[in-house]
Amino acid sequence: MTEIALTVGTHSVLERASLDKLFAALSKRGFRLVGPTVRDGAIVYDELKSAADLPVGWTDEQKGGTYRLKSRNDGAVFGYTAGPHSWKKFLHPPAVRLWQADRADGAFEIKEEKPDAQKTAFIGVRSCDLHAIAVQDKVFLNGRYLDPYYQARRENSFIAAINCSQAGGTCFCVSMGTGPKAASGFDLALTEIREQERHYFVAEVGTELGAEILAELPHREVEGHEKAAADETVAKTAQAMGRQMDTTNIKELLYQNYEHPRWDQVAGRCLTCANCTMVCPTCFCTTVEDVTDLKGEHAERWQKWDSCFTRDFSYIHGGSIRATPKTRYRQWMTHKLATWIDQFGTSGCVGCGRCITWCPVGIDITEEVRAIREAPQSPKGSPTGDKHGNT
């Protein structure tokens, strides 16, 4: 092995056999290891003990409303695409206790939950999901208020990205400008290369911490043909996207089409099951649950994932604001692709395709955008053009 100076942006070669050593190096530094593994017929993200837990030799087949795990015979470690989980499961967990309170003599005291300082290494983060993490960073860290729990989780995270070597049937990251190559937001980014006799990773250093970790592993400087193989891998993926979305002026398009008949059409299919919001890596909405013990002296507040597809979500005294599937689907899609841009300066969609795959009736967000774009309402009839707009 030749010693090279590892700096941000440099590429090295890591043999397949060294993957275990990456896990060991991260463990040694106190990181909990989280990554892909096969469970319940899907590739999910969970705590891993070693590289042996990775989905070696597995891939998936995805279409609208369909996900199938399939074995592959080439021993690929990361030869699959985004599954039902996203990293928000760990960075923005589904259920979090915010505080506890105890009551005595009519008064109560509140004990705030401390931010979690557990160091976690996320292994196998796709470019779409790196962008999703960056989107949630904007939600929880860049506004007027800051979420200290999210901040602690982010500050204690190590990210080993994986550049996609194949595109899924519902992927459209190229349309969203979010992949398939990891551009930033990682400590290390790996591209998996399988050649006839060899199986290795081209590793790009993203941060000094990434360089330190890589320096502890057997590695060597990348050769021209190896770097070319890595580039070709992502280039091929980019050309094989399962879906496309035209995002030209998409904010204006949706703002002008709040009353488009397509919303009624999609509402006829939407079950308002909330699957799309649960699998979406950027959907951040939560509710709170206040609970007590049986004596009523100890109370807790829990924050839990919520979905704009429930009727309860918009309930105020007298009824729900979004009482119909039409208004709820419209809220979700318009938020994702339009109002998100005004709120956070970025689209809320990263093109991972999860909402398409996991929709039980296969509603396809790219198809919904296309339908509205092909027959937009005239701006004259749009809400902005109608002063008192009776609807």
3-class state of residue 245 by DSSP:
coil
- The torsion angles phi and psi of 289, rounded to 5 degrees, stand at -120, 125
In the bound complex, what is the minimum distance in angstroms from residue 360's beta carbon to another protein? 23
Q: Which residues contact 218 (CB under 8 A, 6 or more apart)?
A: 1, 14, 15, 18, 21
DSSP string, 3-60: -----TT-EEEEEGGGHHHHHHHHHHTTPEEEEEEEETTEEEEEE-SSGGGS-TTEEE
- Which of 40, 106, 196, 248 touches another protein by CB under 8 A? 106
Q: Dihedrals φ, ψ of 309, to 5°?
A: -85, -5
Is 345 a binding residue for another protein by CB under 8 A? The answer is no
Which of 66, 207, 247, 331 forms a contact with another protein (CB under 8 A)?
331
* Antiparallel, parallel or unpaired: β 95-104 and 107-112: antiparallel
380 makes contact with another protein (CB under 8 A): no
Q: Which is nearer to another protein, 4 or 101 (CB)?
A: 101
CB nearer to another protein: give 141 or 238: 141
Separation between Cα atoms, residue 31 and residue 242, nearest integer Å: 35
296 lines the binding site for another protein (CB under 8 A):
yes
Work out whether 139 is an interface residue with another protein (CB under 8 A).
Answer: yes
Query: In this structure, what token pair is assigned to residue 66?
Result: 């369909």
Of the pair 41, 379, the CB lying nearest another protein is at 379
Contact region for another protein (CB under 8 A) — 3-11, 216-224, 288-296, 353-361? 288-296
Select the span of 39-47, 99-107, 127-135, 200-208 touching another protein (CB under 8 A): 99-107
Please give the Cα distance from 187 to 112 (Å, whole number): 32
Q: Give the whole-angstrom CA distance, residue 203 versus residue 163.
A: 10
**Among 194, 306, 367, 376, which residue interacts with another protein (rule: CB under 8 A)?**
306
44, 56, 69, 98: residue in contact with another protein (rule CB under 8 A): 98
C-beta of 224 vs 318, nearer to another protein? 318
Please give the residues from 18 up to 57 whose contact with another protein meets the rule CB under 8 A. none
Region from 107-115, 175-183, 185-193, 351-359 binding another protein, contact rule CB under 8 A: 107-115
Residue 95 makes contact with another protein by CB under 8 A = no
> Cα separation of 6 and 236, whole Å?
28
User: How far is residue 186's CA from residue 210's CA, in Å, rounded to a whole number?
Assistant: 8
Q: Are strands 32-39 and 220-221 parallel, antiparallel or unpaired?
A: unpaired
Residues 2-21 that bind another protein (CB under 8 A): none
Stretch of residues binding another protein (CB under 8 A), selected from 53-61, 118-126, 211-219, 383-391 = 383-391
Task: Give which of 263, 251, 266 is closest to 349, Cα–Cα.
Answer: 251
Q: Does the footprint of another protein cover residue 384 (CB under 8 A)?
A: yes
User: Please, what is the minimum distance in Å from the beta carbon of residue 134 to another protein?
Assistant: 17
Round to whole Å and give the CA distance between 273 and 270. Answer: 8
Binding site for another protein (CB under 8 A): 98-99, 101, 103, 106-110, 112, 139-140, 143-145, 147, 255, 258-259, 284-288, 290-292, 296, 299, 303, 306, 308, 313-318, 321-324, 326-327, 330-331, 335, 338-339, 342-343, 383-384, 386-391
